[in-house]
Structure 1
């Protein structure tokens, strides 16, 4: 039944065939599990794709708050505040007419500098020109209180409800002037209302802090590598916001009796564990609303508990169903639900196959862990461990075809042989280069390979996580439940052959 449904969903048809709007849903998995395993986990990748939303985006109500760090540190070098002024004017210039918008000056407090009334302006030729003139006079005085800035953005968005609500954040420093714990409270308050993309400029900002903000507010964070490139980055972020047409898409997973959703993690375009953000209306159901969709694909790794007791061997059994619902006022129909299947087998070759998407995103997750572990080791003074971790990261980035990651890693190491992970640490490493690698460590490379499951090596004994007790395959180097390093040398990622080169 499920295969027939998939054929109908993905065969050519009127929905989306002419370039019109469409939402599609796919489940990718190896459905075979060993019958002797007892209660175990079934893993799958859920792929959601929206396309043809451009015409609808042009008619969708939107609001944009541009938050600029105007602290004293932005004055040196003077290229930072100059770039921020130009970028703010550029971002305002490409707002769609009719969009509600505001510019917020962030210091140890937050204030709206445009519009002068303190609320939200309506984008049009006159208001955009006036906002550009204000942007040209943004100062560089005061401190840094990012929580206060974002809280003002929240209040502005709430004044003018719109289907798409987005905040653009630029900072060059750390959150120093908010009370302890205040930023986390603000992020919790903001998360239901708007998405936020963030950029760090200069070398004094905290990559971990900026990642936390973007992760909680369902956006993306990155480093500004050259001050002169900031205007283009602002234009890209605002253009992406203007291309959004759906306020949200709700994902619902309902398991059969006796099963339960273990976790749900977004694996593309960024890696985010969303398990705790979802709600469980009952023991068998998990659902979560994804925010602000344009033409894009997002993918999620789902773990569902499976138990062979009472199931027939050699037959497909529906373990769970996945369905979508579109939020807001839209005529876009949801796709038909998809099934997550299990078939219990004694055939080791069948049950040991790894779905290629799962294998891809497992490797991608390992890449992110290796980058951050290397940065942690470097900052702790352990240069040799940093070299090994970054060497492994280079090797994985090469295998995954991630030119962006290789470019960022090349600021940390001299790459001797990307295929084997042979590297030498650069000395000295600029703080910007460390931040620029850390900030993208949760970005992922989209799977573009074949859909055929590949055979795994003969299965070895599973590994038990020492922190949470979760069982993982022998090949796992990090626990998928709590991210604890696994393997013989906790915290290190084995390379096989040790890369050469001295620090």
Structure 2
């Protein structure tokens, strides 16, 4: 997703919080919270529309035409000038609805928007007959259209009622081929879609999946407006590790929960590159996990296990091996934030598992998982999770994880599962229970209330 004209680069501040010093082991896990603050630094408020190419794909059955009859023309009429766009309709295979003929792309202006909105009124949709090709066919068609398009942002908006999901067999294979080619937002309409493949699409293609009951046209327009706030479409996070580190993984926690795919660098066995997308102004949180062997390392000595690089910004991951019977010489500054990252991920997972169990008529499992999610939500102060649980259960004691299932509207479970798996999150709250006293302004090491100089770097404490 590159461009011949490089967009302005954001200002980046990177901070690393370690989850704790590990005990010596052949497969010790080291976790670090990467907090990235992004500022536009003089870049324009909106990315020029000429730098965007968007495909709007309508994967719905003829019986659901009412869901898109007014929304699609409305969204097309709201396209910004000079954006490249195409509209796909459905049959046994995706078909290009607009533009027609030899040209693969339309460039929005008053006349193009008017013609596209007119054609959208007769958009071909699934009818009775051959089974639709499945989500893999939609992303494959988008990949073929977007390949080589010389713009900064390439994006698919997929509107689906689930009618093409039956018999899906090659989605994972096609998503592997689409990695790095474009991003995707999924809007589910109707009531017959299955959440899991939609969440897979959103996670693997770095977007979101949400249910839209009303206001589909506004949702499409809002998604395109968000794309215009992207100042850096693709910015890899590079992790260079010491030889004792055997495994590296990186997960984005906010604003969107995604597990990132790491790419080893040829000829550099200790460097990994994790592509990330759609960088806007604001804050991002990542959890970096390293698995390391302690065989050849000294104990109780600060060691650099990794260097994290984002653009021209670098930060080390420093820890020390300490024996189980000994307390670490100092409490790592980021322990609480790493715990909160893990707890938030577990809370989302439990909420999704509980709702899925309800959908599958397994009430005992549903009550257990929702109770655990409520307990974590109460500890983390995550009100939206408690509100979701109250939709299907009475919360008797959130802190104790006690819930009692109530009457459940089966039609509400799918949208709730999508929100549990794809709802954008906000920044983590500041860690509670932090060690009191001054903190080094240079390296961030905490100190006792009487300290005057940093024990780690020797700098005078402020």
Q: Same fold (TM over 0.5)?
A: yes
Structure 2 distance, partners of 1:302, 1:159, is 32
- Look up the match of 1:223: 211
> Match for residue 154 of structure 2?
165
In the TM superposition, what is the alpha-carbon distance from 1:56 to its structure 2 partner?
6.4
Give secondary structure in 1 for the equivalent of 2:235. Answer: strand
Taking the aligned partners of 1:437 and 1:349, their CA distance within structure 2 comes to 45
Partner in structure 2 of residue 86 of structure 1: 70
Q: Secondary structure at the match of 1:387?
A: helix
Match of 2:420 among 441, 456, 459: 441
Residue 130 of structure 1 is matched in structure 2 by 115
Give yes or no for the alignment of 1:147 onto 2:136: yes
1:264-323 CA distances to partner (integer Å, 9 max, x unpaired)?
A: 222222333324x42243332111221232224332211223455565555532221011
Alignment partners' CA distance in 1, 2:332 and 2:11: 35
Alpha-carbon deviations, 1:64-107, whole Å to 9, x = none? Answer: 00011231341xxxxxx334233323333343321110111123
Please name the residue that 2:225 is paired with: 239
Structure 2 residue matching 1:442: 3-state secondary structure: helix
SS in 1 for 2:291: strand
In structure 2, the residue matched to 1:23 is: 12
* Structure 2 counterpart of 1:388: 368
Contact 2:55/2:156 (<8 A) preserved = yes
The aligned counterpart of 2:315 is 338
> Does residue 1:49 correspond to 2:26, yes or no?
no
Q: How many angstroms apart in 1 are the aligned matches of 2:381 and 2:87? A: 38
**What does 1:254-265 align with in structure 2 at a 5 Å threshold?**
254-265=240-251
Matched with 1:270 is 256
Q: Say whether residues 1:96 and 2:80 are aligned partners.
A: yes
Cα distance change of structure 1 residues 100 and 139 upon mapping to structure 2, 3 Å threshold: same
CA distance in structure 1 between the partners assigned to 2:10 and 2:187 by the alignment = 31
| TM-score, normalization by structure 1 | 0.74
Partner of 1:330: none
Matched with 1:289 is 275
Q: Are the structure 2 counterparts of residues 238 and 398 from structure 1 closer, same or farther at C-alpha, using a change threshold of 3 Å?
A: farther
* Structure 2 contact 74–217 (Cα < 8 Å) conserved: yes
Q: CA deviation at 1:368?
A: 2.1
Aligned to 1:486: none
Instruction: State the secondary structure of the residue aligned to 2:16.
Output: strand
Q: SS state of the match for residue 440, structure 1?
A: helix
The residue matched to 1:439 in structure 2 has which SS? helix
> In structure 1, what is the Cα distance between the partners aligned to 2:394 and 2:331?
41
Q: Name the counterpart of 1:478.
A: none
User: In the alignment, which residue of structure 2 is the partner of 1:112?
Assistant: 96
Q: Tell me whether 282-291 or 248-257 shows the greater mean CA deviation.
A: 282-291
Distance (whole Å) between structure 1 residues aligned to residue 336 and residue 77 of structure 2: 43
Does the C-alpha gap of structure 1 residues 60 and 407 become closer, same or farther in structure 2, counting only changes over 3 Å?
Answer: farther
1: CA distance, partners of 2:84 / 2:392: 42
Aligned mates of 1:217, 1:51 — CA distance in 2 = 24
Contact persistence 1:196–1:218 (CA under 8 A): yes
- Secondary structure in 2 matching 1:389: helix
What is the alpha-carbon distance in structure 2 between the residues aligned to residue 308 and residue 279 of structure 1?
23
1:195-234 matches, cutoff 5 A: 195-224=183-212, 226=213, 228-234=214-220
Identify if the C-alpha distance between structure 1 residues 339 and 352 changes in structure 2 by more than 3 Å, giving closer, same or farther.
closer
Q: Deviations over 1:240-266 (max 9, x none)?
A: 112222231111111123223432222
2:17 and 2:34 in contact (8 A); partners too: yes
- The answer as to 2:283 corresponding to 1:304 is no
Q: Give the count of matched residue pairs.
A: 416
Separation in 1, partners of 2:171, 2:306: 37
User: Which residue of the partner structure matches residue 456 of structure 2?
Assistant: none
1:403, distance to aligned residue in structure 2 (A) = 3.8
Deviation at 1:31, TM superposition (A): 5.1
Give, in whole Å, the separation in 2 of the partners of 1:384 and 1:215: 29
From 329, 342, 359, the equivalent of 1:362 is 342
Aligned pair partner of 2:48 in 55, 58, 69: 58
Give secondary structure in 1 for the equivalent of 2:409.
coil
Distance of 2:186 and 2:142 partners within structure 1: 13
1:348, CA displacement in angstroms? 5.0
Offset, 1:24: 2.5
